[in-house]
């Protein structure tokens, strides 16, 4: 993965060696360093996603799907989330403030339409990026569709209009420009996972690459 710098000052080499602020060391997973910037990491160009055409689909192995427009998504119960995030390129950012709709909410709405979950999920983005996750990592208050960060609408380079947010896993699992969650009976590797990154990606277990325990 390559990194481009989002912040004005950038992630300097000196910053990298910096010790975490007092009392935060226990929040830093192994091999990570703290940054106060919000770096931008994208495998390709930022897609232009118009709100009038935006939709989010949940689909199940039987081929059923539920789909919501931007207005429908925005009208759903919203949550505020403050979490630390961890990129596999080793930066972590503490206390990132997000707002969005819990995946639990979407799963419940989809169930009302006869769309049911399955043990694995492939998240798909506008632009074609994909990433796979176990369903268990998306439900029970662990993941959201986020459209706001630090009190502002999510900027296009950070995944706006909306991205998946799964803060307890490495940040490549948090698909920017999200458009579909596909429930699957079998795990299927996404974009980075095909290219040698871990199928689960737990930063606390340092599950960076295929073969890490």
What is the residue-wise DSSP string for 158-193?
A: GTTT-EEE-TTS-GGGS-TTEEEEEEESS----HHH
Q: Rule CB under 6 A: is residue 183 a binding residue for ligand MTE?
A: no
Rg (CA), the chain: 17
| Structure tokens, 53 | 């055409």
Nearest residue to the partner ligand MTE, using Cβ: 129
Among 68, 98, 129, 183, binds ligand MTE (CB under 6 A): 129
Q: Rule CB under 6 A: is residue 42 a binding residue for ligand MTE?
A: yes
* Part in contact with Mo ion (CB under 5 A); list of ranges 41-49, 122-130, 182-190, 204-212: 41-49
- Sequence-separated (6 or more) residues with CB below 8 Å from residue 158: 6, 38, 40, 149, 176
Residue whose structure tokens are 């759903």: 76
Instruction: Look at residue 110 and give the partner it binds from Mo ion, ligand MTE, none, a contact being a CB closer than 5 to 8 Å depending on partner kind.
Output: none
Instruction: Look at residue 40 and give the partner it binds from ligand MTE, Mo ion, none, a contact being a CB closer than 5 to 8 Å depending on partner kind.
Output: ligand MTE
| Structure tokens, 198 | 């871990």
Question: Which residues contact ligand MTE by CB under 6 A?
Answer: 1, 38-43, 87, 125, 127, 129, 158-159, 171-172, 174-177
């Amino acid at each position: 993965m390559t990194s481009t710098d989002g912040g004005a000052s950038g992630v300097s080499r000196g910053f990298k060696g910096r010790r975490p602020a007092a009392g935060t060391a226990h929040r830093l997973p192994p091999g990570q360093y703290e940054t106060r910037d919000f770096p931008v990491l994208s495998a390709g160009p930022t897609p232009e996603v118009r709100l009038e055409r935006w939709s989010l689909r949940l689909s199940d192995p039987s081929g059923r799907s539920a789909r919501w427009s931007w207005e429908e998504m925005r009208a759903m119960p919203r949550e505020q989330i403050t979490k630390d995030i961890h990129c596999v390129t080793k930066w972590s950012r503490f206390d990132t403030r997000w707002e969005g709709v819990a995946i639990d909410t979407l799963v419940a709405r989809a169930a009302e339409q006869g769309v049911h979950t399955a043990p694995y999920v492939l998240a798909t983005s506008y632009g074609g990026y994909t990433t796979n996750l176990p369903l268990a990592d998306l439900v029970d208050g662990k993941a959201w569709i986020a459209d706001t960060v630090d009190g502002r609408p999510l900027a296009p380079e950070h995944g706006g209009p909306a991205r998946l947010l799964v803060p307890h896993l490495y940040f490549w699992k948090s698909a920017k420009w999200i458009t579909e969650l596909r429930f699957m009976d079998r795990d299927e590797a996404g974009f980075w996972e095909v290219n040698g990154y871990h199928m689960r990606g737990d930063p606390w277990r340092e599950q960076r690459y295929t073969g890490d325990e």
